[in-house]
């Protein structure tokens, strides 16, 4: 196997393998990575000319990551779509810094938009007219425009987004997916065993807690934290209700970071993301906006390289990484900006319009 090792500026060492990394070539790849780790604590694995990585190659990468530890960095660049799917399926996208190979933005066929802080300005409580015009122009060019949000349809109906005319709605962080006619085409419920624990939390009434089914959402009680959090995000407060055995697709909790950590430790089958300093989403580990996008792509016969996604918050990171082109709003969180291929201006400074013009999609 041909592997080039170069020392770059700032003490970075680059490793560039060519061909396939599998059982036949993993020995050479392992030696190259060991040499690079001996030279530098900051490694760039350039996969521009790498066709595929098997499990043996992944183990070499994992070994290098462990060798570098917390004091070093390992960044993968030039990752093609096939390798990206392998990395995503195995969870390596959660532990590595990855930059995909350049995507031809002219081939984008679907764009996914978060709502809060992306489409909807928290300053004005409106969707900028420039964003509405840009979405309609993209649709006129044959591009599907889809909402991807942590909200449900009931909440969305109270926001100035439903009249825009989207081609799909991935709600509850992609766990209930609707087509343009608001007909459900995919769902991802929380594991029934885990639901028992979530319902116990709900019924205990120690935390303000929301259960969300396919048609209904309800809270156990309302306090000042709930009121202030929902007011800050233009959210509505669910009715107080009781659990009656339905499937649960998402939960909300109005808690601080300390309680969030306790819930993360408790819930083995769920993942948690924040949408506010005192608001979190709880969904199945198999769910998320990226999983919802995959369902939409399967329905439409599209590839992930044909996807662009816009977001601003923590619960958008997986979607941004999954998309062929991930765009962070200028008002986005630093972690999201780091994961995005492109950072546009803020929602209040025509961010969506400016990005679509930048990529010449409108």
Per-residue pLDDT, 88: 83
Of 259, 284, 309, which one is at a domain's C-terminal end?
284
Same domain, yes or no: 10 and 47: yes
Coarse DSSP helix, strand, coil percentages of the chain, rounded to the nearest 5 percent: 40, 25, 35
Share of the chain above pLDDT 70, in %: 98
Answer yes or no: do 118 and 258 share one domain: no
Find which of 87-101, 167-181, 232-246, 331-345 is predicted with most confidence, using mean pLDDT.
167-181
Same domain? For 128 and 109 the reply is yes
In what helix (H) or strand (E) does residue 282 lie, and over which residues does it extend? strand 279-284
- At 282 the pLDDT is 95
Residues 121, 76 share a domain: no
Q: What is the pLDDT of residue 102?
A: 62
Q: Choose the final residue of a domain: 70, 85, 100.
A: 100
Does the predicted TM-score (pTM) go above 0.85? no
**Which comes out higher in pLDDT, residue 90 or 197?**
197
Q: How many CA atoms lie within 13 A of 356 on its CB side?
A: 28
Q: Do 128 and 163 fall into the same domain?
A: yes
Domain extent, residue 69, equals: 3-100
Number of domain units in the chain? 3
Average per-residue pLDDT for the chain = 91
What is the pLDDT averaged over residues 288-296? 91
Spatial separation of the C-alpha atoms in residues 239 and 216, rounded to whole Å: 9
The string of pLDDT tens digits covering residues 222-242 is 999 999 999 988 888 999 999
Q: What is the pLDDT of residue 103?
A: 62
Q: Which of 250, 268, 284 marks a domain boundary?
A: 284
pLDDT by residue (tens digit) across 33-64? 999 999 998 898 989 899 999 999 999 999 99
Give yes or no for residue 152 having a pLDDT over 70.
yes
Counting residues of the chain whose pLDDT is more than 90, the rounded percentage is: 67
What's the CATH code of the domain at 245?
A: 3.30.1240.10
Based on the fold, state whether residues 123 and 148 are members of the same structural domain: yes
Same domain, 174 and 292: yes
- Confidence band for 92, pLDDT divided at 50, 70 and 90: confident
Task: Check whether residue 10 and residue 95 sit in a common domain.
Answer: yes
CATH number, domain with residue 36: 3.30.750.24
Asked if residue 300 and residue 181 are part of one domain, the reply reads: yes
Residue 150: CATH number of its domain: 3.40.50.1000
Q: Are residues 94 and 114 in the same domain?
A: no
């Amino acid at each position: 196997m041909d592997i080039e090792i170069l020392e770059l500026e700032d003490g970075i060492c680059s490793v560039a393998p060519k061909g396939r990394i599998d059982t036949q070539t993993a020995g050479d790849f392992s030696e190259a990575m060991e040499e690079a780790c001996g030279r530098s604590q900051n490694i760039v694995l350039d996969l521009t000319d790498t066709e595929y990585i098997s499990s043996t190659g992944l183990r070499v990468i994992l070994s290098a990551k462990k060798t570098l530890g917390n004091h070093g960095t390992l960044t993968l660049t030039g990752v093609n779509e096939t390798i990206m799917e392998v990395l995503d399926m195995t969870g390596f996208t959660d532990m590595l810094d990855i930059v995909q190979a350049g995507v031809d933005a002219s081939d984008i066929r679907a764009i996914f938009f978060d709502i809060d802080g992306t489409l909807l300005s928290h300053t004005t409580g409106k969707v900028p007219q420039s964003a509405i015009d840009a979405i309609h122009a993209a649709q006129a060019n044959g591009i599907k425009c889809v909402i991807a949000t942590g909200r449900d349809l009931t909440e969305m109906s109270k926001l100035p987004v439903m009249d825009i005319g989207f081609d799909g709605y991935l709600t509850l962080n992609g766990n209930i997916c609707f087509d343009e006619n608001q007909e459900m085409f995919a769902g991802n419920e929380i594991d029934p065993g885990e639901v028992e624990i979530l319902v116990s939390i709900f019924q205990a009434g120690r935390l303000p807690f929301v259960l969300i089914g396919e048609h209904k959402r309800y809270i156990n009680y309302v306090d000042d934290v709930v009121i202030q959090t929902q007011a800050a995000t233009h959210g509505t407060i669910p009715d107080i209700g009781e659990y009656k055995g339905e499937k649960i697709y998402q939960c909300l909790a109005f808690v601080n970071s300390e309680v969030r950590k306790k819930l993360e430790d408790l819930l083995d089958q769920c993942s948690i993301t924040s949408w506010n300093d005192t608001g979190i989403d709880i969904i199945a580990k198999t769910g998320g906006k990226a999983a919802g996008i995959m369902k939409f792509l399967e329905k439409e016969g599209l590839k992930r390289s044909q996807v662009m996604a816009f977001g601003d918050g923590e619960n958008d990171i997986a979607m941004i990484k999954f998309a062929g082109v991930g765009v962070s709003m200028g008002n986005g969180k630093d972690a999201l900006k780091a994961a995005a291929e492109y950072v546009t201006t803020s929602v209040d400074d025509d961010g969506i319009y400016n990005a679509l013009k930048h990529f010449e999609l409108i």
